[in-house]
A and B are shown apart, each in its own frame.
Chain A
Amino acid sequence: MIHKYKLNGLNIVLDVHSGGVHLVDDVTYDLLDNVSPPFEEECPEWVIEKMMRFHDEREVVVCYKEIVQLYNEGILFSEDDYEKFASYSVASPVKAMCLLVEQDCNLRCEYCFASAGDYGLGKRMHMSFETGRKAMDFLLENSGDRENLELDFFGGEPLMNWDTVKQLVEYGRSREKEFGKRFRFTITTNGMLLDREKMDFINKEMSNVVLSVDGRKEVNDRVRKRIDGTGCYDRIMDRYKELVELRNNENYYVRGTFTKYNLDFANDVIHLYDEGFDQISVEPVVSEPSMGYAITEKELPAIFSEYERLADIILGHDRQGKHFNFFHFMLDLDQGPCAIKRLRGCGSGNEYVAITPEGDIYPCHQFVGIDKYKMGNINEGTFNTDIKKEFASAHIYSKPDCRKCWAKFYCSGGCNANNYIYTGNILTAHKLSCEMEKKRLECAIMIKAAKAAQEAGILSE
C-alpha cells in the first residue's frame, strides 16, 4: 500500500509497510496513479500512451524502471506481512499506571472530559495513601520483567492532594530496589497551586511534567476558568516559566486544547513559543458535537489549513535557528518504535491501567466511570483478565478501519476510549479524530521531507 500527497510544493509518497518515504517528481507522481504490482520488465504501452499527454515519453520509461527497482528493493508497494505479529504481547505485563489521586479540581474548564474532576460520578474524592500504596504494589507485582514502571499522577488536579503524591513517591522509591525496578513518575497539573516547594519536588522526582495552558490569554481564559468564572492565565504563566527554567528547560510539555473558538490555534502555539516554551502540545478538543466549542466535520477544512500553516511556520522558524517541538508533528522516520509496538499504540487495559480514589481499576483514565469496563478493585484484590484480553487483542488488524488505513503504523489504531465513547465499540475508529490525525501525519512527514530536500539541495528555500 502506498499513500501519496502534495504539500508545500513537494510530492510525497509513503510506502506504508516498509515505512519508506520518497520524494518524487511530477512524472513519477502521475505514473503511480497508473501502475502497481505485478510489474513488467518494461513500462506497458497503454501507460506510456496515457502519460504522454502530459509527460515526455522517455522520462516515463525511466520512471517506470525506478519504480520497479524500489519495488524489488522492498520499499515501494511492499507487502503487508505484519498480521502474524498481532498476537504478540497478549499476556503483556502491566507496566504503566495512572493514579487519579484527586477527583476534584480548582478550575472549571468548559471542555473537561473529567467533568471538573469527578468524571461525571458526582463525587469529589481524594485518593488515600493506603489505596495509592496498594495500587503501586499492584504495579510492582504485575509488571513481570519490565524494569521501568510509569506512574502518572493525574486528576482532577493532583496538586490538591499533594501530601499523598509526595508520600507515594517516597513509597515507590523505597521499594524500587527490592523489585529491581525504577519508577518514572509524571504529573499533569493546571498550575494553580504550584509553589517553589512543589516545583522543587516535581523537578527532582518527576521524569516529565505536563503543564496545562491553552495559549493566548484570551483563548485560555475563555475556557479555562476558576470557580468564580475568571480565567487562570495570569496566575499560572509565571509559575510555569519558573518551573521549566528550574528543570533546565527539559522534559516537560505545555499542553493546550484547541476548540472551535480558536481555529487559528497556530497563533497559540507561537504564543507559547514566544513566551519561552519549546515543548508544546496543542490538541483538538474531543467532545459531543452538540457543545458550543465542539469540533465537528464542518471545522475540518479550517483545521487542515491551520495545520498546514503551522507546519510552514515551524519550517520558517527552523530556518532561522528557532527550534521547538510541536508534539503532534514529532516523528522519527528512522529510529521510531518497532513495528510490534505500532500494532497497539497506547496499551490501555493491557499494559496500562487507571486507578480511581476508591481503588477501582479501569483500562485508562478515559474509561473511568464506564461500568462495562471496570476491571476490578485494588482494595478488593480483583482484576478481570477477560477485559485485559479484550484490550490486548485490540490492534490495527482487529480494527477494520485501521487495517486498510495508510496511517496505521503511525497512529497505531487511535484511542480506544474515544472509539468506545463516540462509536460504542473500542474497535471502531472515531472518524473525526482519524481525519485530523492523518492531516497531522501528512504535515509531520512533509516537515521531514522538506528538511531532507533542503539538505539534498532540491529546494531553494
Chain B
Amino acid sequence: MKHIITINSANLKKTAAKGGCGKCQASCQSACKTSCTVANQKCEK
C-alpha cells in the first residue's frame, strides 16, 4: 500500500466471537471514579 498505512490489527470482530467472559474490571466512565474510556481496560482472559 502506498497511500494507506494500517497501524493496528483491527481485530474487534474476532473479539466479539470469543468475548463476553466478564472477568475484566468494571470501569466507571465518570470523572469521580478516575476511569473513562473502556478501551483502556485490559482483557483478563
Chain A residues at the B interface, C-beta cutoff of 8 Å: 13, 15, 17-25, 27-28, 59, 62-63, 66-67, 69-70, 74-75, 78, 81-82, 85, 88-89, 92-93, 95-96, 113, 146-148, 150, 152, 184, 188, 210, 253, 255, 257, 281, 283-286, 327-328, 330-342, 345-348, 351-352, 364-366, 409-412, 414-415, 417-418, 437, 440-441, 444, 448-449, 452-453, 456, 458
Contact = CB atoms under 8 A, between A and B. Distances in A.
A85 B15 CA distance: 11
B26 A95 contact: yes
Contact of B37 (A93, A113, A328, A452): A328
B36 to A, nearest CB: 5
A453 B16 CA distance: 28
B7 A412 contact: no
A331 B39 contact: yes
Contacts of A418: 30
Contacts of B38: 336-337, 341-342, 345-346, 410-412
A353 B43 CA distance: 22
B37 A284 contact: no
Contacts, number: 205
Q: Summarize B's interface: helix, strand, loop or mixed.
A: loop
B26 A23 contact: no
Contact of A19 (B11, B20, B21): B11
The 9 closest A-B pairs by CB, nearest first: A338-B19, A20-B10, A19-B12, A340-B20, A338-B15, A96-B26, A339-B16, A283-B31, A452-B7
B9 to A, nearest CB: 5
Interface residues of B, number: 42
B37 A364 contact: no
A22 B23 CA distance: 30
B3 to A, nearest CB: 5
A337 B10 contact: no
Contacts of B2: 62, 66
Contact of B7 (A25, A82, A333): A333
Q: Summarize A's interface: helix, strand, loop or mixed.
A: mixed
A332 B31 contact: no
Interface string B1-44: 11111111111110110111111111111111111111111111
Contact of A148 (B5, B23, B28): B23
Given A96-B26, A334-B8, A255 B34 contact: yes
A150 B28 CA distance: 12
A339 B31 contact: no
A365 B32 contact: yes
Nearest to A152: B33
Given A70-B4, A82-B16, A345-B27, A92 B22 contact: yes
A22 B20 contact: no
